[in-house]
Amino acid sequence: MAGGLGVSGPDGVSPRQRGRSDGRARSSGFKFYWPKIRIVISIAMLLLVVHRVKWASLIPQGRAAIKLLIFAAVIAFVGILLSVLRWQRVLSALGMKSRPLSLVRMYFASLFVSNFLPSTIGGDIARASWLSRLVPGSDDAVASVVLERFSGWFVLPVITITGLLLNPQLLRLGPASRLAVAVCVVTLIALVGAVFLAFRSAPSNSNSERAVRRYIESIRSGLFGIVASPRLLVEVLAVSFAYQLVVVASAVEISHALSLSLSWTVLLAFVPAVAILQVVPVTFGGLGIREGAFILFLRPLGVSTSQAIALGLLVYGINLALSLFGAFALAVGHKRDFAKPSVPV
């Protein structure tokens, strides 16, 4: 009869329980092997990049080019501070008070964790964990990081579309143009879908799923808080746009240092698209994916493979250099700012 679905087998375990146990085992195995697979792919990508790049082009020659790179690093540093400000405005929407200096330390420390520490705990998870120890309400801490990322993901495709419209010639680059448009459309659809699921998801009886439900409720509360306050909404989006435009400006200076004759609209259109593609969790730090995206987008504009790789590596290199401030932040930060990160469940 129908109730037979719950009948236990010879070992006293029902088929449903056994299925859940097998599913957890497969998930555990994937979590164990995937970081190792990513290391192998990252090394392969690094070797491929090293083989294709001309190292003389990676190190710009002349005092003027060095100054441009330093200026690009300063601009990127300002961009990180703007990202911290965006996070602070999201926290305000959640009704959480925070000390600006602590947020700056946590943000730089999370960059360091993401880029240098051999850990499966990402920088964003570490940041949420540290914040939960400073401000009561770990659910809101997680929600603040998610919503801060959401605002950035919304801005990226909008900036790319704006760049394409400002320079219609970029819509006639064949596969490069189609990929840029497809990335924007998929990103916006995914964001709308994520917001819809956050509002439509139903409670669950599982302990782990109840925890996820709490985070979803906190995210939904934050969305309501931001949308209900036009001033907060404008502030969050304005800071998000400012941050991404500063990232583009840094890339413009790097391209000048490499003597690439690219208009600012080209980088306005393609740098955000590259930023979206490089977060695909195949390699560490987007190594190879970022450089491959620059090759695809810029080759129709006369940029050589070596130059495109040099641009990608210098963009990444500046980010790595700035994230070293996170090591200093971890060293001098107060113990209650940087407890051992724990993964929210």
As a whole number, mean pLDDT of residues 155-160 equals 94
pLDDT for res 5: 46
User: Does residue 9 lie within any of the structural domains?
Assistant: no
Identify the weakest region by mean pLDDT among 81-95, 125-139, 210-224.
210-224
DSSP state of 171: G
DSSP state of 203: P
Query: Domain residues for 154?
Result: 53-332
Tell me how far apart the alpha carbons of residues 267 and 279 are, in angstroms, rounded to a whole number: 18
What confidence tier does 305 reach under pLDDT thresholds 50, 70, 90?
Answer: confident
User: Does residue 12 lie within any of the structural domains?
Assistant: no
User: Does residue 19 lie within any of the structural domains?
Assistant: no
pLDDT tens for 101-116 read 888 888 998 888 887 7
User: Does residue 46 lie within any of the structural domains?
Assistant: no
Which tops the pLDDT comparison, 194 or 311?
A: 311
Per-residue buried b or exposed e for 132-144, using 16+ beta carbons within 10 Å of the residue's own CB: bbbbeebbbbbbb
Most confident of 1-10, 191-200, 322-331: 322-331
User: Does residue 241 lie within any of the structural domains?
Assistant: yes
Task: Count CA atoms closer than 13 A to 116's CA, side-chain side.
Answer: 16
DSSP state of 170: G
pLDDT for res 141: 76
User: Does residue 30 lie within any of the structural domains?
Assistant: no
Q: How many domains does one find in the chain?
A: 1
Give the number of other CB atoms < 10 A from CB of residue 147: 26
pLDDT for res 136: 57
Residue spans of alpha helices (H) in 278-324: 289-298, 305-323
In the predicted model, is pLDDT for residue 313 greater than 50? yes
pLDDT for res 1: 45
Output the pTM of the full model.
0.77
DSSP state of 206: S
Task: Count CA atoms closer than 13 A to 226's CA, side-chain side.
Answer: 23
What would the two tokens of residue 308 be?
Answer: 């495109």
User: Does residue 27 lie within any of the structural domains?
Assistant: no
As a whole number, mean pLDDT of residues 140-149 equals 79
User: Does residue 20 lie within any of the structural domains?
Assistant: no
Distances (CA, A) of 183 to 96, 167, 279, 281: 34, 18, 12, 16
pLDDT for res 116: 73
As a whole number, mean pLDDT of residues 72-86 equals 93
- Which residues neighbour 17 within 8 Å (Cβ) at sequence distance 6 or greater? none
What would the two tokens of residue 190 be?
Answer: 């995914």
Nearest to 145 by CA among 117, 174, 110, 105: 110
- What is the rounded radius of gyration, in angstroms, for the C-alpha atoms of the chain? 22
